Amino acid sequence: MIDISPSVMQFLLAFLVAAPLLGAVAALLPAPPGLKGRNPEQAVLRHGVTVTGVILAAAIALALGFDHDAPARFQATTDISWIPALDVRIHLGVDGISLPLLVMTALLFFLCALYSYFKLPAGPSPKAFVALLLVLESGTLATFAVLDLLLFFLAFEMVLIPMYFLIARWGGAQRQAAAWKFILYTLLGSVVMLLGLLLIGVTADTFDMVALATDNGRELSRTTQLLAVLAIGLGLAVKTPMWPLHTWLPDAHTAAPTVGSVLLAGVLLKMGTYGFVRILLPVTPEGMAAFAPYLGAFAVVGIVYGSLACLALARKGNKGDLKRLIAYSSVGHMGFVLLGIASMTPTGVNGALFANIAHGLITGLLFFLVGALKDRYGTADLDTLAGATGAALYGRAPRFGALLAFAAVASLGLPGLAGFWGEMLALFGAFDPAEGLSRPAFLTYTAVGAFGTLLTAAYLLVVVRRVCMGDPKAGPELTVADVHRYEFAAWTPLVALTVLAGLWPALLLGLTDPAVQQLLAGGTS
């Protein structure tokens, strides 16, 4: 770690939020004469790589300058008045909970920009594509950095329009219907969420998330807390997505371009679970305790439902789409995150935050791989890919097959890789939930969640068998391009971080645990 002055840290965090917007505006302007490259398309794509690269460098600098001895304290804070009449402030800050999400978000956007430089999805102007990508990055980074309820809502909503257009204009079959379903679900959930945020802000006479968390719900009556949890939780659950509010997700993932799927799974889903941890747990603890058993029940139903849907899609003869299968797997994986949050214990919440990062890395890698597989074969249909004996990637494209198998075993939670720790800690949290929660109910959730891990292993191993194994000489596809250099560049960081987080979980838990302990204690410890 390096010693960076507080003013520079302030600048870095503000830069992370504002720079993508400035980059989006610049992407729409004509390129300067010396930067046009071979053609305007190449120039704007290079601009996207440069801007996201600079933002990633700023995020890494922020992480290096972060005081790891005080991860529970908000650092790099900016707090200035914006709308005095409503007491809305531009309040930014980062702690051990938000820092890993900021760095992962910056990394995934850079890797997507790099991948798109070499493999731009078919669609309209590259300028619009890069500009939308950068607006999306600004909204996601702002969501994890702001400490004002109304700013959180604005950042939360800011991502909807760019993601809608990325799906609707650069997506595949059924993209218009999928994009409309995505935006209608999330907008309707957000309207209800706004009512809950306003209820808290007006009742407590402040929208400041730090002050509200420190107060720990003492200014809010039980009824107010229940209404707030119901309203805000609904909006967050749609974005997570929680069963049964998940139905927009498989369609959106199936239709989205590769980078759209990576960002949707790796970043946008985390905004919902982050809201549960950052807002509902510390601000409305009594309301969360009342709804926690129901949240846990929906979580474990999502775990089993997502796994059974994946098993059905993976079966021979069901014409299962691989992108759709991974989308349903996200419903199951995010169920573990919600189960950890529902336990309301430090162990469970730390597990949820760890699983958030692990899911972003692993599922981001899976969507990259499946998108590349679809580009090679022209389809993501599992029956078509597997053919009569199997797609035989081990024989036809051994490095590609090895990467797909690695991502699959990481996703099923193999010990030693990132996917293991989050789900295990979430189950441990549910095994011994917070005081006042029904232990028999949560023991049942633990058992069902543990059964869900077996189902997860089953469908992922079926996918590996059908796609990676088989006779490489059988069928019409005798040659498949192995991993290209630009693909290695985009995927290697995700592989390395998946291994690093699996072998050294303290790297993440050392950041999140003190912050979670203080958050659950209402800022008193």
For the segment 175-199, what is each residue's pLDDT rounded down to a tens digit? 888 888 888 888 888 889 999 999 9
Q: How many C-beta atoms surround the C-beta of residue 279 within 10 A?
A: 25
pLDDT of residue 438: 87
pLDDT number for residue 525: 40
- Which pLDDT score, from 0 to 100, does residue 376 have? 81
Q: What percent of the chain has pLDDT over 70?
A: 94
Q: What does pLDDT average to over the chain?
A: 88
Residue 466: what pLDDT? 85
What integer pLDDT is reported at residue 381 of this predicted model? 81
According to the model, what pLDDT value does residue 321 have?
82
Range 8-42 burial, b when 16+ CB lie within 10 A, else e? ebbbbbbbbbebbbebbebbeeebeeeeeeeeeee
Chain segment 315-359, per-residue pLDDT in tens: 887 777 888 899 999 999 999 999 999 999 999 999 999 999 999
Mean pLDDT on 63-84:
87
Give pTM, 2 decimals.
0.92
The predicted pLDDT at position 389 comes to 58
Residue with tokens 């996917």: 419
Q: Is the peptide bond before 126 cis (omega within 30 degrees of 0)?
A: no
Between 205 and 61, the higher pLDDT residue: 61
Give the range with max mean pLDDT: 30-34, 203-207, 278-282: 278-282
Q: What are the DSSP calls for 286-354, one per residue? A: HHHHHHHHHHHHHHHHHHHHHHHHHHHHHSTTS--BHHHHHHHHHHHHHHHHHHHHHHTSHHHHHHHHH
Encoding tokens for residue 296?
Answer: 């846990």
Both structure tokens of 146: 């702001």
**Residue 173 exposure: Cα atoms within 13 Å on the Cβ side:** 7
pLDDT category, 36, cuts 50, 70, 90? low
